Structure 1
């Protein structure tokens, strides 16, 4: 005979990633379309998915602007001797050792 804890293990319950929309957290009905984005991120509608895409693109734009402004500040503040070292070409390839 199994104990009641074997049937009702709510303390260890982990929701499935397809249980709810990533953005609005509405429950996903398994009889309707689920809109996926970036691998396994589920959305209840095209609108929710598009909103997430736009938010991600804005974060990426800000990151690119921030990193490019930091890079230009470093180049203008460094001395010319150090700047020439950063412009050297690097060869890459495969090395086989016997």
Structure 2
């Protein structure tokens, strides 16, 4: 499902015009990105958490030049679903059908 499809679905379910929903969805994503860039995590009860995960410093290989590369410690954004979210997916017949 794309962002445009999410906006359309919210608009249909709530009766709010797509333009207003689009502004709200864009604002949500902007707030999440800006907040995480400042080092904050976002917790949405019943949905999940947007968290910054620390990746340790490691040595990787550039196979084309056969040299070692040092990748410094850094943070990457991650999403951790809530238990309710996970249970909803586990109970879904459509997910099971799609994966068979």
Higher strand share: 2
Q: Give the TM-score of the pair, scaled to structure 1.
A: 0.30
Q: Give the TM-score of the pair, scaled to structure 2.
A: 0.30
Indicate the structure (1 or 2) with the bigger Cα radius of gyration.
Answer: 1
